[in-house]
Amino acid sequence: MTVLARKLANFSPVNDKDRRAIEDLFTVEKRYEAGSDIVTEGSVPPAVFTIAEGMACRYRLLADGRRQIMSFLLPGDLCDLHVFVLKAMDHSIAALAPTRIASAARDRIIDLLVYHPRVSAGLWWNEMQEHAILRERIVGLGRLDAAGRVAYLLCELYWRFQAIGMVRDHRFVLPLTQPDLADALGLTPVHVNRILQRLRQQELVEVGRRSVTIQDLERLQEVALFSNRYLHLGGAPEEIRSYFDQLEAERQRLERNGT
Amino acid sequence: MTVLARKLANFSPVNDKDRRAIEDLFTVEKRYEAGSDIVTEGSVPPAVFTIAEGMACRYRLLADGRRQIMSFLLPGDLCDLHVFVLKAMDHSIAALAPTRIASAARDRIIDLLVYHPRVSAGLWWNEMQEHAILRERIVGLGRLDAAGRVAYLLCELYWRFQAIGMVRDHRFVLPLTQPDLADALGLTPVHVNRILQRLRQQELVEVGRRSVTIQDLERLQEVALFSNRYLHLGGAPEEIRSYFDQLEAERQRLERNGT
DNA sequence: CGGGAGGTTGAGCATGTTCAAAGGATGTGG
DNA sequence: CCACATCCTTTGAACATGCTCAACCTCCCG
């Protein structure tokens, strides 16, 4: 669970009380092996969960069997705070590597939203970030050529792994195959392969089995027309931070009096 | 403001008290003419707002001047409940037709989230729907050919306009030009034009100036591999509905006692 | 060691792009 | 109220990016 706290620290400082609130939230742990579904399309939405370790993706299978990966879930990523208001999942979530997830019951989430405004704000930030990631992917799929798309995805993953302290020497572990990348990028595995070779030969990035080494982030980001602004890693606006600190104090007072 | 209430009724019944809570929320109204920015990339996130009338889109301009439209905002659509936690907008929002928007101050939104769990649940549903719409667009851009994409967008708009009662005789008003469609679909205007002609000639749909007439929804949906499941128009799960009704009663009691 | 999945390579092909040009609609200013 | 400018729509032809299909190689992992 420390990963989630580490991620939220990109929004605003997480004190011990916050950390405890988060840890109290996600109690049940479960393991999934690479390739297995964590949630299946059509099923009843599960409890809210977060990736404690490993990696997963949201995907949908088309009638003709093709797959499209919509987004990747990294350690510390949350699965839809509010998904429980829906009747059925409209997509599946699968583990891409051996993965540990931690779940939170619905009531606990709702209580947290009410009584821990500061942590809530962090979770909202997280949701806004996921929203922004989806939107950027739309821009990439709509307007970038194959090289741009591949570069884009690698840049995004670099910064997201960076934000949770999982990059060492411009290198991070990535348990994706080329067919996985193709399904995320709307390309064929064959073409992804050719692009990766080109990027390697241009000494921009080296994508090997299970790991990625960024050799020239600057130029890679140019190929992708990438800016990391949309990840909103710069922290909360000062005004918002103090607003929620204040709100938190109030709510907790109300809580003690009211019950 | 009745449009938002009408939209939320797709999730769960909206009583007069709920309607009042919503109306109290969105007080300030403002008008924008077609083509003007409602929110600009890089600016400070605005108050939360909803489209009262007209139509808008989220978009981003690339360094080289190309535009990608990420999503369309129809009457009753909300602009990010939680956007105020961010420092700067990562995209712009523009009016596509003469548009009226209604805004809500941040504090009011937060109060609503705390003291009107039932309405909150509706707004959460709305957010989940927007999320799902983005994800589906990714599937479309990644895996559908040009005809599929065009058909997909038309199907989606059909159902969304349907949900707010703005379809008459399989026909709805759509103030989009072919270049607009192209920017949303990741195609060129020229190609969009050819596809529209083909769809018309196949008697699936007639896209004219400012309006769309669906001639054969069934077949159009087949071309797009479309299913409207992801829009979650089927209402809330019974269990969730009663859960929030109960929560609402509790919170309001707490509110009266606590202050 | 053998099977299966992932990775790599090549050649022909197709979908959608680019570029160019002309015909309509719309709306603005004279 | 007409004239003109602008943007949208439509059409054609050459072109290019990425796909398809097919084969072979390599690396795990059982």
| Min distance B225 CA to chain A CA atoms (Å) | 7
pTM, two decimal places? 0.94
Summarised one tens digit per residue, pLDDT across range A194-248 is 999 999 999 999 999 899 999 999 999 999 999 999 999 999 999 999 998 888 8
Compute how many other C-beta atoms are within 10 angstroms of the C-beta atom of residue B107: 10
Pairing outcome for strands A56-61 and A67-73? antiparallel
Q: Taking the CA atoms of A152, A156, A134 and B64 in sequence, report the sign of the dihedral they define.
A: negative
Q: At what angle do helices A117-143 and A238-258 cross, to 10 degrees?
A: 140
Q: Which residue has the higher pLDDT, A116 or A171?
A: A171
- With a cut of 80, say whether residue B259 has pLDDT above it: no
SS3 B74: coil
pLDDT given for residue B255 in this prediction: 67
Residue B223 has pLDDT above 80, yes or no: yes
The answer to whether residue A258 scores a pLDDT higher than 60 is: no
Where would I find the beta strands (DSSP E) of chain B?
28-32, 37-39, 48-53, 56-61, 67-73, 78-79, 92-95, 99-104, 171-173, 205-208, 211-214
Which residues lie across from A72 on neighbouring strands? A57
Instruction: State how beta strands B67-73 and B48-53 pair.
Output: unpaired
| Cα B81 from Cα B106, distance rounded (Å) | 9
Chain A CB contacts of B132 below 8 Å: 90-91
The residue whose two tokens read 């996921």 is: A130
CB B56 within 8 A of CB B71: no
CA B221 to chain centre: 20
Q: For residues A200 and A215, is the Cβ–Cβ distance under 8 A?
A: no
The alpha helices in chain A, defined as continuous H runs, are 2-8, 16-25, 106-115, 117-143, 146-163, 178-185, 189-201, 217-223, 238-258
Is there contact between A191 and strand D, defined as CB under 7 Å from any strand atom?
A: yes
Looking at the C1' of nucleotide D10, which residue has the nearest alpha carbon? B193
pLDDT, tens digit, 9 for 90 and up, residues B118-151:
999 999 999 999 999 999 999 999 999 999 999 9
Write down the pLDDT at residue B42. 96
- Percent of chain B scored above 90 by pLDDT? 79
Q: List the single protein residue with the shortest CA to C1' distance from C14.
A: B145
For position B209, what pLDDT does the model report? 84
| Inter-chain CB proximity A232 and B87 less than 8 Å | yes
Contact B139 A62 (CB under 8 A): yes
Total length of chain B: 259
d(CA B211, C1' C23) / Å: 22
**Which among B11, B128, B229 has the least Cβ separation from residue A83?**
B128
Which nucleotides of chain C are near protein (any atom < 7 Å from a CB)?
A: 5-11, 15-20, 25-26
